């Protein structure tokens, strides 16, 4: 059993979530003995959605001396089927899995919901109240208060533009799902993009629309349900890309890696500063000068904020899946490759 601490998480008062990865989604943790977890993941080929997931949950326990991977074998309940390119979102002690594409055979694109209770270490498949959303992979899922907001993705035929709302409860035996219908404005279609919530806005960067690798910035206003953008920014913005990582720290959105086309992978790092100055939003891109050895270029790496460091795990470098762990210190702008011990996860 893992005890979760009370505290402030991304601006929301409540219980700090346990850091858990299910395939290519990584949550945030800020515990005294920093814990990063991974559950399965794609590890066969580079095509998004093709791969497999093991039944193991693996935790990285970090101490001042060494970092150890530990497998959790005895999780109760029926787990999700093998999949990747889904989403994983924490709410208190719960981890909510949505959608993705099955591996190991069917390659079916999914719209199911599974919930992991991290304290009782058991899986829950809740009753769905409302209309089941479209199956999808490569979508985003962000927690806003007690609601998960899912945007876009790929359903096997088209890039999606809808917004799906999953309203959560403390028991998690049932969840309410509804889809926002477009009114008088066009909703942007995106896949393999990133979404980041700061205050009452959701910032959507990059991804693809089915034709192009994009680097535009869109804002969804969470109070009015209105889209804004593409938003004009200052500075030199990142190139268009898919399957990158985005992490929020101090009202800055850090972007790492991804693919700018079908042939290349990236290991560059940018951040967008949205903080207001004299009542006006800064909205400026920066590419900071860093020290240390950066991770090799890759797509589908996961990023996790632990204190003032971002931990990046795994990904695909164009030839093979990876299982290395790197830390980026946000205060010193320094890269460090982390040595880990124990039962290490397979590359993913």
Residue labelled with tokens 């093991």: 54
Residue 54 has pLDDT above 70, yes or no: no
Q: How many helices (H) and strands (E) are present in the chain, helices listed first? A: 0, 31
Q: How confident is the model at residue 3 (pLDDT cuts 50, 70, 90)?
A: very low
Q: Choose the weakest-confidence range: 15-24, 67-76, 114-123.
A: 15-24
Q: Which of 41, 34, 38 is nearest to 16 (CA)?
A: 34
Residue 17 has pLDDT above 90, yes or no: no
**pLDDT value at position 280?**
67
The DSSP code for 76 is: B
The predicted-structure confidence for 257-297, as pLDDT tens digits, reads as follows 999 999 999 999 999 999 877 766 789 999 999 999 999 99
**pLDDT value at position 345?**
81
The whole-number average pLDDT for the span 202-210 is 97
Q: How confident is the model at residue 43 (pLDDT cuts 50, 70, 90)?
A: very low
Q: How far is CA 221 from the centre of its chain?
A: 20
- Across the chain, what does the average pLDDT equal? 82
Q: Report the share of the chain in percent with pLDDT over 90.
A: 62
The predicted-structure confidence for 189-202, as pLDDT tens digits, reads as follows 999 999 999 999 99
Which has more pLDDT, 67 or 311? 311
Give first-to-last CA distance, the chain, whole Å: 26
Which has more pLDDT, 233 or 31? 233
Torsion, CA 40, CA 7, CA 249, CA 327, rounded to 10: -50
How many whole angstroms separate alpha carbon 96 and alpha carbon 84? 14
- Nearest 5°: phi and psi at 320? -150, 155
How many other C-beta atoms lie within 10 A of the C-beta of residue 125? 15
**pLDDT value at position 134?**
96
Residue 52 has pLDDT above 90, yes or no: no
Q: Choose the weakest-confidence range: 159-163, 174-178, 179-183, 271-275.
A: 179-183
CA–CA distances in Å: residue 239 to residues 193, 244, 288: 13, 11, 15
How many whole angstroms separate alpha carbon 203 and alpha carbon 13? 21
Torsion, CA 345, CA 346, CA 347, CA 348, rounded to 10: -70
**pLDDT value at position 170?**
80
Q: Which of 331, 325, 328, 335 is nearest to 68 (CA)?
A: 325
What domains sit in the chain, N to C, each tagged with a CATH number? 6-342 (2.120.10.80)
Is the bond preceding residue 338 a cis peptide, omega within 30 degrees?
no
- What are the residues facing 74 on neighbouring strands? none
* pTM confidence score: 0.84
**pLDDT value at position 64?**
59
**pLDDT value at position 34?**
55
Which has more pLDDT, 176 or 33? 176
Residue 300 has pLDDT above 60, yes or no: yes
How many whole angstroms separate alpha carbon 204 and alpha carbon 310? 20
Which has more pLDDT, 21 or 164? 164
The whole-number average pLDDT for the span 299-309 is 91
Residue 74 has pLDDT above 90, yes or no: no
Q: How confident is the model at residue 45 (pLDDT cuts 50, 70, 90)?
A: very low
The predicted-structure confidence for 209-238, as pLDDT tens digits, reads as follows 999 999 999 999 999 999 998 999 999 999
The whole-number average pLDDT for the span 120-147 is 95
The 3-state secondary structure of 300-336 reads CCEEEEECCEEEEEEEECCCCEEEEEEEEECCCCEEE
Q: How far is CA 309 from the centre of its chain?
A: 16
How many whole angstroms separate alpha carbon 165 and alpha carbon 290? 38
Q: Vertex 138, ends 135 and 142: CA angle to 5°?
A: 90
> Within 13 Å and on the Cβ side, how many CA atoms surround 193?
34
Which has more pLDDT, 348 or 28? 348
The predicted-structure confidence for 81-122, as pLDDT tens digits, reads as follows 888 899 989 898 899 999 999 987 778 999 999 999 988 989
């Amino acid at each position: 059993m893992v005890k979760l601490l009370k505290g402030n998480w991304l601006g929301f008062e409540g219980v700090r979530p346990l850091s858990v990865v299910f395939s290519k989604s990584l949550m945030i943790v800020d515990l005294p003995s920093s814990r990063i977890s991974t559950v399965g993941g794609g590890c066969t080929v580079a095509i998004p959605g093709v791969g497999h997931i093991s039944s193991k949950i693996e935790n990285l326990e970090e101490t001042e001396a060494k970092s150890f991977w530990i497998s959790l074998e005895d999780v109760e309940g029926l787990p999700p089927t093998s999949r990747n390119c889904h989403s994983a979102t924490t709410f208190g002690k719960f981890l909510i899995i949505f959608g993705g594409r099955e591996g190991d055979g069917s390659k079916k694109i999914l719209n199911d919901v599974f919930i992991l209770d991290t304290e009782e270490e058991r899986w829950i498949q809740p009753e769905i109240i409302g209309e089941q959303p479209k199956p999808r992979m490569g979508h985003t899922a962000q927690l806003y208060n007690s609601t998960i907001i899912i945007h876009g993705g790929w359903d096997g035929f088209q890039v999606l533009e809808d917004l799906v709302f999953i309203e959560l409860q403390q028991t998690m035996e049932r969840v309410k799902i509804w889809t926002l219908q477009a009114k008088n404005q066009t909703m942007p279609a995106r896949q393999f993009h990133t979404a980041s919530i700061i205050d009452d806005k959701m910032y959507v960067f990059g991804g693809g629309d089915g034709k192009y690798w994009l680097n535009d910035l869109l804002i969804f206003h969470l109070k009015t349900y209105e889209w804004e953008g593409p938003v004009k920014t200052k500075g030199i913005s990142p190139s268009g890309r898919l399957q990158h990582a985005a992490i929020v720290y101090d009202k800055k959105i850090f972007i790492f890696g991804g693919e700018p086309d079908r042939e290349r992978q990236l290991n560059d790092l940018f951040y967008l500063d949205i903080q207001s100055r004299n009542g006006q939003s800064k909205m400026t891109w920066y590419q900071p000068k860093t020290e240390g050895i950066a991770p090799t270029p890759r797509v589908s790496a996961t990023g996790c904020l632990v204190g003032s460091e971002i931990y990046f795990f795994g990904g695909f470098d164009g030839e093979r899946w990876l299982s290395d762990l790197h830390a980026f210190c946000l205060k010193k702008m320094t890269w460090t490759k982390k040595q880990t011990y124990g039962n290490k996860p397979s590359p993913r």
